[in-house]
């Protein structure tokens, strides 16, 4: 067993189930999955690809709600235990910098990241094509948009939970406007969350079959004494369409475009009925992870088949052991990613 320490708060009430005996992978599913089922809110047929945070002794989250007219928006949900959720009946009422209503044409795959006392929501929206949208809140009542960080096309972004060398850091995956058949993870930094630059390449899709088409950030990186644990998604193509699995990498603490380790094997892949069957079959799409620094426990929230939300568990130690066992990071990945 290795030793790795999560750097962050304790979360005694983290949702948790012990690892089953002979678990084949370092991540195991909650036995009552999926935790959010079809038609969870009036006018919303499916909630998936969603993100949560501890809040006021319980949990709060931003949820991708596919409305019955097919348009995705972000809904707010609250929970006492992180498992049973109550949703607001209306989508999140974003405002612009002047307090006027701001509602993008669509909004999906939200991440929710806390930096100091502010919560940031990062999602995909229309900006003459798919691009990243952002907003902030401190009270989950007022949600103020921030300038779109990147040019189109980009459909997948997640912030780091603290500044690094005094800069905000964001991972994203530049793409095309459709069901992009390519994609690597890049890092951008900003002094103020408005102007982004110093772009660096972090990781490419690889020759490992499960991530050979494209990859993209998942949960906000988890800080540990060994580096940032990045739970991400990797996609492969088959004669029956894309398959989305979860992967794990370890990024350098001070220079996170440097990949220290990367596992050649997935940590979770669609294997259950609720992951294999749904609106888009064969999708495990991680968007958030709760952590308890004291125990090293990690609870992952992931979208299942673009239809449900699932919960899965692991520990920092299990992920790190797996990285040590299956590390495949190449020489070029140990470099900062600048050309």
Binding site for ligand BMA (CB under 6 A): 49, 108-109, 179, 244, 280, 283, 285, 303, 306
Residue nearest ligand BMA by beta-carbon distance: 280
Do the beta carbons of residue 279 and residue 320 sit within 8 Å? no
Q: Residue 204 CB, nearest distance to ligand BMA (Å)?
A: 17
> Does the N-terminal peptide bond of residue 153 adopt cis geometry, omega within 30 degrees of 0?
yes
Between 109 and 275, whose beta carbon lies closer to ligand BMA? 109
Paired residues of 36 in beta bridges: 309
Question: Sign of dihedral through CA atoms 57, 61, 67, 68?
Answer: negative
Do the beta carbons of residue 26 and residue 314 sit within 8 Å? yes
Between 64 and 318, whose beta carbon lies closer to ligand BMA? 64
Whole-number Å distance between alpha carbons of 86 and 54: 15
Q: Residue 219 CB, nearest distance to ligand BMA (Å)?
A: 14
Q: Residue 50 CB, nearest distance to ligand BMA (Å)?
A: 11
Between 15 and 110, whose beta carbon lies closer to ligand BMA? 110
Whole-number Å distance between alpha carbons of 141 and 51: 17
Between 53 and 245, whose beta carbon lies closer to ligand BMA? 245
Between 216 and 221, whose beta carbon lies closer to ligand BMA? 216
Q: Residue 279 CB, nearest distance to ligand BMA (Å)?
A: 8
Question: Sign of dihedral through CA atoms 125, 164, 234, 65?
Answer: negative
Of 318, 301, 314, which Cα lies nearest the Cα of 51?
301
Q: Residue 235 CB, nearest distance to ligand BMA (Å)?
A: 8
């Amino acid at each position: 067993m290795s030793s790795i320490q999560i750097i962050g708060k304790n979360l005694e009430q983290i949702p948790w189930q012990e690892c089953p005996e002979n678990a084949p992978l370092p991540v195991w599913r909650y036995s009552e999955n999926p935790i959010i089922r079809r038609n969870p809110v009036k006018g919303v047929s499916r909630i998936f690809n969603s993100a949560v945070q501890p809040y006021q002794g319980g949990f709060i989250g931003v949820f991708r709600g596919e409305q019955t007219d097919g348009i995705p928006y972000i809904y707010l949900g609250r929970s006492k235990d992180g498992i049973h959720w109550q949703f607001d009946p209306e989508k999140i009422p974003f405002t612009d910098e002047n307090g006027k209503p701001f509602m993008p044409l669509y909004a999906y795959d939200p991440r929710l990241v806390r930096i100091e006392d502010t919560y940031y929501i990062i999602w995909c929206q229309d900006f003459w094509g798919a691009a990243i949208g952002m907003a902030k809140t401190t009270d989950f009542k007022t949600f103020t948009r921030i300038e779109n960080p990147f040019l189109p096309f980009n459909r997948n972004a997640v912030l780091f939970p603290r500044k690094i060398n005094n800069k905000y850091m964001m991972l994203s995956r530049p793409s095309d406007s459709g069901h992009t058949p390519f994609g690597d993870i890049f890092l951008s930094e900003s002094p103020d969350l408005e102007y982004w630059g110093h772009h660096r390449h972090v990781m490419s899709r690889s020759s490992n079959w499960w991530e050979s088409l494209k990859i993209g950030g998942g949960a906000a990186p988890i800080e540990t004494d060994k580096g940032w644990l990045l739970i991400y998604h990797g996609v492969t193509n088959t004669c029956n369409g894309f398959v989305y699995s979860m992967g794990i990498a370890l990024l350098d603490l001070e220079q996170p475009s440097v990949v220290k380790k990367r596992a050649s094997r997935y940590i979770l892949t669609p294997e259950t009925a609720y992951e294999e069957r749904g609106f888009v079959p064969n999708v495990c799409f991680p968007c958030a992870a709760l952590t308890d620094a004291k125990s090293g426990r990690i609870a992952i929230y992931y979208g299942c088949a673009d239809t449900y939300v699932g919960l899965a568990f692991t520990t920092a130690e299990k992920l790190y052991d797996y990285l040590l066992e299956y590390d495949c990071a190449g020489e070029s990945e140990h470099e900062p990613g600048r050309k």
